[in-house]
Structure 1
Amino acid sequence: MDNRPRVKHDPLNVLLREEKIEEANELIRRGIQPDFSGTDFRALHLRGLLTENLDFSNSYFRMADLRGLDFRTCNLEGASLHDAHITGCYFPPELSADEIQMSVKLGTRMRYR
């Protein structure tokens, strides 16, 4: 089975690829439950995205703009943040600063302890 992150083509993911964050947020507010696990978010600008309780497990955020996002209630198990912009982000308390730093610098997949 191929576990590599992939580009998804459902309406919510298409809006994110087009960087239409407010439109994506409106769908989330309406109760659409996005499936972001295993998604390739490479180089996307996701600032302002509503992230509460979302599953980003095994996702790929290389060079993505994530500044200010609140991931505290998200599943980031196995996600990679290689060269992502994470200034002002909140992360789940289970993730150590070292784990986050290694993911940003080296692209390692984050593991909860």
Structure 2
Amino acid sequence: MPEMKQSKMFHFLRDGKIEDFNRELQRGTAVDLENADLRGVDLRGCNLKGVSLKGAYMSYTDLRGLDLRFSNLEGASIKSAKISGAYFPENIMPEEILMSVTQGTRMRTVKHHVYEEKGKEQ
């Protein structure tokens, strides 16, 4: 169930105050965005390094250009989100991202991401 968090950090994002969010994050302010309702929010320019977005609802969210490699996106949904230029964590397979953007599925994570080389014998 999407949650409308009561924290100032959540409201900074919902209100488009990205600079305020980034400044408070840099100061060490705690951030709880797990299961957060971030639907339709423009997150461009947001520093989400180390922030858990586990189970977050981010349909129609603008994630363009974000570095999410160090964010926890397990169980998050990004249906119809704008993701051009975004970096995703290595523990989320490209197919999971595609299914979430197109179908709204929750992204599953894998423990170890292994790329197989075609033609390589084991």
Same fold (TM over 0.5): yes
Q: RMSD of the TM alignment (CA)?
A: 0.7
Structure 2: segments with no counterpart, 5+ residues: 111-122
Deviation at 1:94, TM superposition (A): 1.2
Taking every aligned residue pair, what percent have the same amino acid on both sides?
42
One-letter code aligned to 2:10: N
* Paired residue secondary structure (1:37): coil
Query: Residues 37-86 of structure 1: CA distance to partner in whole angstroms, max 9, x if unpaired?
Result: 01010001110111111100000101011111111011100000000001
Structure 1: segments with no counterpart, 5+ residues: none
Q: Hey, which bits of structure 1, 4+ residues long, moved more than 3 A?
A: none
* Paired residue secondary structure (2:13): helix
Matched, 1:62 2:68: no
Query: Residues 10-61 of structure 1: CA distance to partner in whole angstroms, max 9, x if unpaired?
Result: 1111111110100111100100120110101000111011111110000010
TM-score by length of 2: 0.88
Equivalences, count: 110
Match of 1:14 in 2: 11
TM-score by length of 1: 0.95
Match of 2:36 in 1: 39
